[in-house]
Amino acid sequence: MAATKQKRRGAHLEMVGGKGGRQRVWEAIRANRDGFYLADISRAAKVDLATVRTYVQALERGGFIQQCNVTVKLAEAKQFALVKDNGLEAPRLTAEGKPVIQGLINEAMWRTMRMVRDFNFHELAALSSTTEVSVAPGTARTYLRHLATAGYLIEIDKGHGKGAGGIPTRYRFNPARNSGPRPPMIQRTKSIYDPNLGQIVWQEEPDHDC
DNA sequence: ATTATGCAAATGGTGTAGAG
DNA sequence: CTCTACACCATTTGCATAAT
């Protein structure tokens, strides 16, 4: 009923690599690693207390932080300390404190792409697949297609685009677009956001000049 | 006729926000 | 403090098209 009913915003505004949300909380925690309270974090990060509480709980379960004054039971009065600093960006944890698997496949493909010179989506799927993650050919195909559209990949051999010849489109990673370790995310709005650059790198081409 | 690619839409999973 | 609802990204699957 609050006038400021904040619905969830775009990924580039709250997810990893952006601002707001858990990222701010994590930064605030790092700034006060010796000891902090939920209220401090909430105020410093300018994040709703409930959100802070949720994330802190996840961090605690994940073993990233530890409560100092165990005697206190009230969450708002609890004092935590950072015991496991990833140093990087905010760990993506589920409420259970377990690492999020979402995006793992994406990252695997992104990493493979930067290592291998050229490839087709079949090879990418095979190379990206590990014992931990299995990349479906279809997924690789989709991701590859989007990246190519965004200019991250160069189509070096269109070959025989279709048919039973076994010559799929061959792509090559564009070094100029090697922006960083974070894989670009394909947003729901048909746009592609690069967490490394912190900006939209491609949109659905509003340009329709005839 | 068979097989693979390309495109598109549907579904699932996760995080955030709010209310009880 | 716990629970429910909602929004968004990621992934999977199906259909249409085209060549061997």
Q: What is the DSSP string of A83-136?
A: -----SS---B-TTSPBP-TTHHHHHHHHHHHHSSEE-HHHHHHHH--SS----
The tokens describing A190, both together, are 């048909």
Percent of chain A with pLDDT over 90: 0
* Of residues A50, A58, A42, A65, the one with CA closest to residue A93: A58
pLDDT band at residue A17 under the 50/70/90 scheme = very low
Give, in Å, how far the C1' of B13 lies from the CA of A133: 16
Give, in Å, how far the C1' of B9 lies from the CA of A80: 46
Contacts of A64 (CB under 8 A, 6+ apart): A82, A83, A84, A85, A86, A91, A93
Start-end of CATH 1.10.10.10 domains in chain A: 13-82
- CATH class entry, domain A100-203: mainly alpha
The protein footprint on chain C, as nucleotides within 7 A of a CB, is 1-3, 6-14, 17-20
- CB A93 within 7 Å, strand B: yes
pLDDT band at residue A25 under the 50/70/90 scheme = confident
Q: What is the pLDDT of residues A149-199, one digit of tens each?
A: 777 888 776 655 555 555 667 888 888 888 778 788 887 777 788 877 777
Contacts of A45 (CB under 8 A, 6+ apart): A24, A25, A27, A28, A52
Tell me the average pLDDT across A49-74: 72
CA A135-A139-A143 angle, to 5 degrees, is 115
Residue A140 is inside which H or E element, if any?
Answer: helix A137-150
How far apart are the C-alpha atoms of A171 and A156, rounded to whole Å? 6
Nearest DNA or RNA nucleotide to A48 (CA to C1'): B17
The fold for domain A13-82 equals Arc Repressor Mutant, subunit A (1.10.10)
